[in-house]
Amino acid sequence: MIRVAYDASVLGMGYLNPKARTGIFRMVEALLLELVAHSNLEIKVISFDSESTFWDNIGTSLYIKNLYPSLAKNFQSVYSSRFNLYALYTHVVTWQRSLIKASTPDRIWLYKSARAMQILFEKVARLDMEAQFHSASFDLYHSLYYPLPSRAITGNISRILTVHDLIPVLFPQFVIPRVYQRCVATLNSIDRDRDWIICNSQYTKQDFCEYTGMDGDRVFVTPLAAADFFQPVTDTALIASTLQRHQIPNYPYLLSLATLEPRKNLGFLIRCFSQIIQDAPALDLNLVLVGVSGWQTAEIFQAARHNPQLRSRIIFTGYLPDRDLSAIYSGATAFVYPSLYEGFGLPPLEAMQCGTPVITASTSSLPEVVGDAGILIDPTQEDDLCQAILNVMHDAQRRADLSQRATQRASQFSWASCAQQTAEIYQTAAANSSQ
């Protein structure tokens, strides 16, 4: 039996703020649900790394308790209160979650109040809360995102870090300073001679080994998968009602799903869409952009508003709940994802699992995900993307072929396979704890 300390701080953050449920959140959750079923593993869910706090610890415990009560026995808190205030903190965290859920763009003060409340109680907790990680209770520690704790804390047990991409250090212009600093801290936390690394794609492994000089034998690849709830929706009434609920016109549309930020190359997509509409103004087509606003979004919104013809044709939905995504994916004429760099790229895989034709970039890890089941384009050549969109729009047989190949391709990825590969890595790391 291999005893694993599984750092799931990301789940606590996602519990407090649903808009934080990004691809990494999905990965940490899906992998956990598969790993706990392995009979040779004893998974203890913790919230403990170089960045998380007791606040994330409570959020993670509430996530487990409320969403997966059968896993309550798997959660292990590493924090204790000297003055028996843990119950109070739990109530405050729950209250914060309610404020965040109730906040809207015109009620942003609710979100600010929630953050201020956290800052206040974290100051109080510095005098009260104690973190204790008992390394002797585990055979290995696995961080799914944040920097590894120091060896002074983890002792001689094996340490594993999942590296999702190297975007912050390879392309610092694509991230805010805080993300760059976290990536640097994460890479600096690695002991290249003793730790083990998991990457989501061969491309990321190659980037990582080239950047760090780490021996490739200590770096593994476990491809991700789309969640099971992503399925083709053929009920046109359900698609129509979902579109209406989110104020999306029930007309043919191209879809993209991504955080609105420079790396996702959405300004490029909007320019291509604009060119198509300019050349054929009578074309019955909209562009739907799903995702929360990230940073440097001015270009994206300006590109959408610059041309009066586009104002009613480009729809920004913001965050959409998981329950509605399959219908949104399935209703699209095509899913377009011209991202400049991805460590894996879950949205194209989600779209393919829903049977939606995919047009994506021929760069980084995306060809590993899409294979020959989608259309790959140069994300810097507008003519390439425009032509790909027109080809899909005007060729029903082409769409049907891409849809069929998409579902077949997506079926090659599964969380069960990812978990099995991860369990094998755990065995290797545990058996070589001193190496």
Quick one: pLDDT at residue 298? 67
Lowest mean pLDDT among 287-296, 297-306, 326-335, 337-346: 297-306
Indicate if the pLDDT at residue 294 is higher than 70: no
Q: pLDDT tens digits, residue range 159-195? A: 999 999 999 999 999 898 999 999 999 999 999 999 9
With CA atoms as reference, report the closest residue to 222 among 159, 158, 164: 164
Indicate if the pLDDT at residue 52 is higher than 80: yes
Single-letter amino acid code for the residue at 103: S
Give the pLDDT mean for 51-67: 93
Q: What's the pLDDT band for 376 if we cut at 50, 70, 90?
A: very high
Q: What's the pLDDT band for 240 if we cut at 50, 70, 90?
A: very high
Single-letter amino acid code for the residue at 55: W
- Higher per-residue pLDDT: 428 or 107: 428
Indicate if the pLDDT at residue 299 is higher than 70: no
Q: What's the pLDDT band for 305 if we cut at 50, 70, 90?
A: low
Phi/psi of residue 373, each to 5°?
Answer: -95, 0
Q: Distance between CA atoms of 302 and 104, rounded to whole angstroms?
A: 22
Lowest mean pLDDT among 83-87, 191-195, 346-350: 83-87
Single-letter amino acid code for the residue at 35: L
Quick one: pLDDT at residue 282? 84
- Higher per-residue pLDDT: 260 or 380: 380
Indicate if the pLDDT at residue 107 is higher than 70: yes
Burial 324-363 (b: 16+ CB within 10 A, else e): bbbbbbbbbbbbbbbbbbbbbbbbbbbbbbbbbbbbbbeb
With CA atoms as reference, report the closest residue to 183 among 162, 166, 158: 166
Pairing of β 140-143 and β 158-163:
parallel
Indicate if the pLDDT at residue 435 is higher than 60: no
Percentage above 90 pLDDT, the chain: 78
Percentage above 70 pLDDT, the chain: 96
Domains and CATH numbers, the chain: 2-78+132-225+415-431 (3.40.50.2000), 236-410 (3.40.50.2000)
